[in-house]
Amino acid sequence: MMEAESRSFADAEINRCLTPEEKIQFLRQMFRIRRFEQTSLKAYNAGKMGGFLHLYTGQESVAVATISLLGENDHVITAYRDHGHALVCGMEMGECMAEFFGKATGSSKGKGGSMHLFAPDKRYWGGHGIVAGQTPLGLGIAYALKYKGIRGCCLCYLGDGAVNQGVFHESLNLASLMSLPVIYIIENNGYSMGTSLARSSAFKQMLAQRAEGYNIPWDHANGENIYEMRVKTQAAIERAHEESRPTVLEIATYRYYGHSVADANARKYRTPEEIEHYKTYHDPLRLWQKRLVDEGILTEEQADAIDHEARAEAEVASRFADESPFPTEADIFTDVYSEVDQPVGDGPHGTYFFN
């Protein structure tokens, strides 16, 4: 039964039209995220960066599958576990790694850190550190698209821990009330920091089912299955494009590391066996690679070569970050006010900084 369902996703029009190159590109993107993060973790442990580092490892297929469907007027915004989305949206490993290192060559000139990667030129709006704080921003992006009469949508990602924040519910209400083309993708990895789903959220079948209360269509997908995610995301995108209506899509996934790498209890709130089980039987890279081999469009050797390229690219990024300069003390005061950086008329007037 499950196999039949799985086949039907693979046979769906949106997947049948994929070229072998596109399918291989999905694998390449997942390898790039994984090797980038492994390299960043190594650098973190070597003391090359500060603060948190929220690894996406185990969830790579979600960003790859969902973002693969976006067109030139579709936008992306996410929370702090943002490395995968950033790379899939087209950010370079080097600028991201340099941002982690706090370097002037970073995507935010070292002012944001790993939780705050932005590339508005690639319609990627971050990278936001406060749980669910990005959910009304995604709504606002959808609002702006509708206001300007642009046929597009915004994919707004959140974790399972974000669904209990009030502002997410306010966003759902506004999305439905104002009929905005926003798609909330709940990446349900089972844990909000160290608190399991069962201990954090009250629900009947699915978290996404809460959308019913706001008259918003919802669905769920298996994060291991790129074909399934593409089918279900495409339905949401069509709803946004054709009807300017929101969707909530919940995707079951799993993270291998702790909440962040600073998560001291990463191996205490779940068993090592649980993590091993996922790595062995549910790893999205391994599963996609096997599928491509089974479909006869990729050999193991070719997959290894893709992996090797990703590792090499990550190493180059790490060296670039390491060799880049830090921002200067004067840089602390740029990018605070537009008026100071790019004065209009005879401005700026008055004192902006009180040191």
Partner 1 sequence: MPLITYRKALNDALAEELLRDENVVLLGEEVAEYNGAYKVTEGLWARFGSKRVVDTPISEAGFVGMAVGASMLGIRPVVELMFWSFSYVTFDQIINNAGCVRYMSGGQIACPIVIRGPANGGTNVGATHSHTPENFLANTPGLKVVCPATAYDAKGLMKAAIRDNDPVMFMENTLLYGEQWEVPEEEYLIPIGVADVKREGTDISLIAHGRAVLTCLKAAEILQAQHGISAEVVDLRSIRPLDEETLLASVRKTHRAVLVEENKPFCGVDAQIASLIQEKAFDELDAPIQRISALDAPAIYSPPLEKLQLPTPDRVVQKALSIC
Q: Interface residues with partner 1 (CB under 8 A)?
A: 77, 106-113, 116, 118-121, 125-130, 133, 135-141, 143-145, 147-148, 166-167, 170-171, 173-174, 177, 334-339, 341-342, 344-354
The least CB distance from residue 170 to partner 1, in Å, is 3
Give the Cα separation of 308 and 304 in Å (integer).
6
For residues 122 and 144, give the distance between their C-alpha atoms in angstroms, rounded to a whole number: 16
Q: What angle do CA 295, 285, 122 make, to 5 degrees?
A: 105
Nearer of residues 111 and 286 to partner 1, judged by Cβ = 111
Nearest approach, Cβ of residue 346 and partner 1 (Å): 8
Chain centroid to CA 152: how far? 19
Q: Minimum distance from CB of 201 to partner 1 (Å)?
A: 20
Nearest to 124 by CA among 74, 62, 159, 69: 74
Structure token digits, residue 312 = 């090499």
Residue among 112 and 223 whose Cβ is closer to partner 1: 112
Distance CA 220, CA 198 (A): 18
Q: Are 113 and 102 in contact (CB under 8 A)?
A: yes
Q: Which residues pair with 74 in a beta bridge?
A: 153
What token pair was written down for 341?
A: 């950086």
Cβ-based nearer residue to partner 1, 121 or 273: 121
Least Å from the CB of residue 294 to partner 1? 42
In sequence order, the 6+-apart residues with CB closer than 8 A to the CB of 278 are: 58, 254, 256
To partner 1, the closest distance from the beta carbon of 48 in angstroms equals 19
Q: How far is the CB of 66 from partner 1 (least distance, A)?
A: 19
Q: How far is Cα 164 from Cα 197, in angstroms, rounded to an integer?
A: 11
Task: Kindly tell me which of 58 and 94 has the beta carbon lying closer to partner 1.
Answer: 94
Nearer to partner 1, 129 or 161 (CB): 129
Closest CB 211 distance from partner 1, rounded Å = 15
Q: Report the residue number, 125 or 254, with the smaller CB distance to partner 1.
A: 125
Nearer to partner 1, 28 or 122 (CB): 122
**Distance, CA of 78 to CA of 176 (rounded, Å):** 20
